[in-house]
Structure 1
Amino acid sequence: MRTAEVTIVGGGVIGASVAYHLAHLGCRGVLLLEREAMLGTGSTGACAGGFRYQFSSEINIRLSQISIPALLRFREEVGHPLTLHQDGYLFLLTREEDVSGFRESLALQHRLGVPVEWLSPDQAGALVPGLDVRDVLAATYGPADGIADPAGVTQGYAAAARRLGARIETESEVREIRVEGGRVRGVRTRRESIASPLVVNAAGPWAAQVARLAGLDLPVRPSRRHVVTTRAFPGAPPRHTLVIDFASTFYFHRESGGLLFGMSREEPDGFDISVDPHFIPRIVEAGLRRFPPLGDAELGRSWAGLYEMTPDAHPILGEAAALPGFFLANGFSGHGFQHAPAVGLLLSEAILEGRATTLDISPLGLARFAAAPVPGERHVV
């Protein structure tokens, strides 16, 4: 029987980051198992690639304060090229209740040292030529926010992990989490059993299914999100600022000389990632209202991916108290890519040192859902 010191289930950006950080911190028995033929083909491959400091909860801001600097030094630290544009996030506010809520968030962001600006509608419109701001009451702009390439981060972490001795295997679906004597003992794939005293659940939207293999209930549900692109056109914004119409959830940014955009809606839980052809025109209609130059563009590709939502839109991080040796990195609620550098570091610290030392992640433990409700992240797109 093969052995591994730590086995990671899931080869998206979170799993790759955990593998890299474990190996970087000296763990020499890292094994990552991905069921698909390639890494990063689940939620990671479908996401828009945004990163931001502009959250409403302190813990999410602090995760960003670890992650964003790591993305900015990614080439130097990890040794892999990364396409990154730090042109900011622009939140457009059209409802009085959102203006009030974002003012509260701005005060928290400033207290934590985050550079976020409060803008008038005209100032917001000047940032992105062509933007229709006639119904906008106010806006916030984070100049240190931006977008980066999720595939580049995933492949960079994986390549660096391999150089440090980690084993990464694709087409290896985990079908059983072996539990004996009240703790994790290993995993079984369709081909073999692997002895491993430590297992990390990094299975993205499938996290609840993997947790059930270990006898745990995990409050993570998959929720479909649509993304649309256009071909290059002259009216595309010159910068890569990610614009979010908060009330409608419509967002867009420059991509390959055109636009990448999307919008959310109420979706039933499930793993359906087919594109709803009736929803795409509604997304385009919202885009035309907010950014009329979109009318001159030819639509390109459309796809759908999955968010992994928790009840409070915060991730679940750390060891499962009910099952020693089983570590959770789940439920990022649309923020997994941008927080992957922090999560990989913090979970690796928890595994190797007994606790995360860079940032206290105990408030993100699974046990919080059995206690009194905690305030949720309000700035979910």
Structure 2
Amino acid sequence: MVADVIIIGGGVVGSSIAYHLLEDGFSGRVVVIERDPTYARASSSLAMGGIRQQFSSALNVRLAQFSIAFYSDFDHRFGLKGSAAAAFRRRGYLFLVDSGNRERFETRITKQRTLGVSVSRLSVADLERVVPGLVVDDLEFGVLGPNDGYANPKALLAGFRRGAEAAGAEFVTGAVTAIHRNGNRITGVEVDGMDRVNAAVVVNAGGPYAARIAKLAGVLIPVQPVRQQLFRAFLRTPAPKQHPMIVDPSGVHWRQENTEDTNEQGRIIVACTKLDEPPGENFACDMSRWEQEFFPPVRRRLPQHSAYTHVEGWSGLYEMTPDHNPVLGPVPSCPGFLLANGFSGHGLMMAPATGKALSEFIRLNRCETFDLTPLSIARFDNNRPFWDDAML
């Protein structure tokens, strides 16, 4: 098989790249290789679905702003309706700020406003109005981003794949077992159970398996799979109204199930990044962590909702880099090999912007919409990590 562009990984990032590339006018043959078409363990499918622009770096804000604008008409764009809809809702992200984080958030608010981010500094009284029953005795204030929100992750993945296929991308099932080079330049890949696929451009969109894929091309990237656990609790007393995604000072954050059915507002999804989680492809869910780590902050903040009937848990994989930010763009030492990796929990959030950026790199040999220099692979070789203190 001969293609013009091969994208390894058909998750939300890989599918977004294929979609944007073809929608932007690329006329070549685009082949997306996905090893598991069920997406049972895809990070996209197992994600929380949060989408926000409340970051502390200008670049991440710009990437998120582009993505939120894209997601705002996602269902209409891809013809998703009913239970298949992504249903992005701007319910907001609400960060709760205690005395230990006051200065950091004050600085962040100022910077975000200069970048055009709509954020409101909420007093303690405001917080009680936005989230009735919220315990605020240890809080200084809250920061609400009303244009942030959340969506159905599986529907976002399905929509991007549907759009990519409609635009002309070919999805094939298989695992890439080798990446071929002529000298330093990429020439194609080997796929288990298939003939060789030749192409001058190969994009690594392999999610938590990105380092393994890059190594096939002789490229080392500092991306590791790290388990992220989530829980869904069925509360006995539903909230009286929809409220924003709540981010507690502890790092535990939760949102209501994305539903218009008021009878189902008692379902919440709770997450928390464990900073000392060892790397590895671990999908086991430690249910003991629910009562030990995840639920105590929810119970403290919303005591009237502290009783629940049952809890479900699952785990997915983050693709972590040392600075918790993605690696985007070409690999200078390996012409034709491009990276879209290491999102560290923000792949779903940044997928539209990533698709646009990689489309430009492939078509124009440069990125015009964003300056992605700080996110290049070279930053690790030059010991210039890219920091953003608004990571979850």
TM-score range, shorter chain: over 0.9
Residue 372 of structure 1 deviates from its aligned partner by 4.0
Partner of 2:390, secondary structure, is coil
The correspondence of residues 232-311 of structure 1 with structure 2, limited to 5 A, is 233-236=236-239, 238-246=241-249, 248-255=250-257, 256-257=264-265, 258-265=267-274, 266-282=276-292, 283-311=294-322
Distance 1:107 1:47 in 2: 30
User: Which residue, out of 372, 378, 389, partners 1:367?
Assistant: 378
Comparing 266-275 with 290-299, greater Cα deviation is found at 290-299
Residue equivalent to 2:260: none
Q: Identify the residue that residue 312 of structure 1 maps to in structure 2.
A: 323
What is the CA–CA distance in structure 1 between the aligned matches of 2:376 and 2:297, rounded to whole Å?
38
Which residue is 1:24 aligned to? 23
Cα deviation for residue 278 of structure 1 reads: 2.4
User: Offset at 1:240?
Assistant: 4.4
The one-letter code of the counterpart of 2:268 is L
Is residue 372 of structure 2 the alignment partner of residue 326 of structure 1? no
Q: Does 1:352 align with 2:356?
A: no
CA distance in 1, matches of 2:317, 2:98: 27
| Farther off after superposition, 333-342 or 286-295 | 286-295
Which residue of the partner structure matches residue 63 of structure 1? 63
CA distance in 1, matches of 2:354, 2:40: 16
Shift of 1:344: 0.4
CA displacement 1:56-105 (0-9 Å, x = unmatched)? 11110010111100000213333334312111000011242x21111111
**Superposed structure 1 runs of 4+ greater than 6 Å apart:** none
Percent identity, aligned pairs only?
A: 37
Output one character per residue of 1:263-286: Cα deviation in whole Å (capped at 9) or x when no partner.
Answer: 222201111010013212121223
Shift of 1:358: 1.3
CA distance in 2 between partners of 1:99 and 1:302 (Å): 33
Does the 8 Å CA contact 1:235/1:293 hold for their aligned counterparts? Answer: no
Tell whether the 8 Å contact from 1:125 to 1:133 is kept in structure 2 after alignment: yes
**Is the partner of 2:237 in helix, strand or coil?**
coil
Q: Does 1:136 pair with 2:139?
A: yes
**Which residue matches 1:190?**
192
Structure 2 contact 361–367 (Cα < 8 Å) conserved: yes
- Opposite residue 234 of structure 1, the aligned amino acid is T
Q: SS at the partner of 2:230?
A: strand
Q: SS where residue 8 of structure 1 aligns?
A: strand
- SS for the counterpart of 1:18 is helix
TM-score by length of 1: 0.95
Q: 1:174 to 1:375 in 2, by over 3 A?
A: closer
Compared CA separation, residues 114 and 40, structure 1 to 2 (3 A): farther
Pick from 82, 105, 117 the counterpart of residue 120 of structure 2.
117
CA drift at 1:312:
1.6
Letter in 1 for 2:62: R
**Contact preservation (8 Å) 1:64, 1:339:** yes
Once residues 163 and 323 of structure 1 are traced to their aligned partners in structure 2, the CA distance between those partners, rounded to angstroms, is 31
Question: Are 2:8 and 1:9 equivalent residues in the alignment?
Answer: yes
Deviation of residue 231 (structure 1)? 2.4
What is the match of residue 178 of structure 2? 176
After superposition, what is the alpha-carbon deviation per residue over 1:174-232, rounded to whole angstroms, capped at 9, x for unaligned?
11111222111111111121111111111111111111111111111222111111226
Taking the aligned partners of 2:349 and 2:332, their CA distance within structure 1 comes to: 27
Letter aligned with residue 5 of structure 1: D
* CA 1:114–1:340: 2 relative to 1, 3 Å: same
1:287 deviation in Å? 2.0
Match of 1:342 among 343, 347, 353: 353
2:102 is equivalent to residue 83 of structure 1? no
Q: Contact 1:40–1:151 at 8 Å: present in 2 too?
A: no
The number of residue pairs the alignment matches comes to: 377
Q: Aligned-pair distance for 1:234?
A: 3.0
Which residue matches 1:160? 163
Find the aligned partners of 2:378 and 2:254 in 1 and give their Cα distance.
Answer: 36
The 1:40/1:185 distance shift into structure 2, 3 A limit, reads: farther
Q: Look up the equivalent residue of 1:322 and give its one-letter code.
A: S
> What letter matches 2:331 in structure 1?
A
Equivalent pair of 2:248/2:297 in contact (CA under 8 Å)? no
Long gaps (5+) in structure 1: none
- Residue 67 of structure 1 contacts residue 340 of structure 1 at CA under 8 Å; is this kept in 2? yes
Displacement of 1:40:
6.9
Query: What CA RMSD, in Å, does the superposition of the two structures yield over aligned residues?
Result: 1.6
Q: Please, which runs of 5 or more residues in structure 2 have no aligned partner?
A: 258-263
Shift of 1:294: 3.3
> What's the TM-score once normalised by structure 2's chain length?
0.92
Once structures 1 and 2 are overlaid, which stretch shifts more, 339-348 or 275-284? 275-284
Name the SS of the counterpart of 2:288 in structure 1.
coil
2: CA distance, partners of 1:41 / 1:149: 16
- Aligned partners of 2:181, 2:309: CA distance in 1, in Å? 54
Greater Cα shift, 187-196 or 118-127: 118-127
Q: In terms of mean alpha carbon deviation, does 226-235 or 270-279 score higher? A: 226-235
After TM superposition, the structure 1 stretch with the greater mean CA deviation from structure 2, 266-275 or 254-263, is 254-263
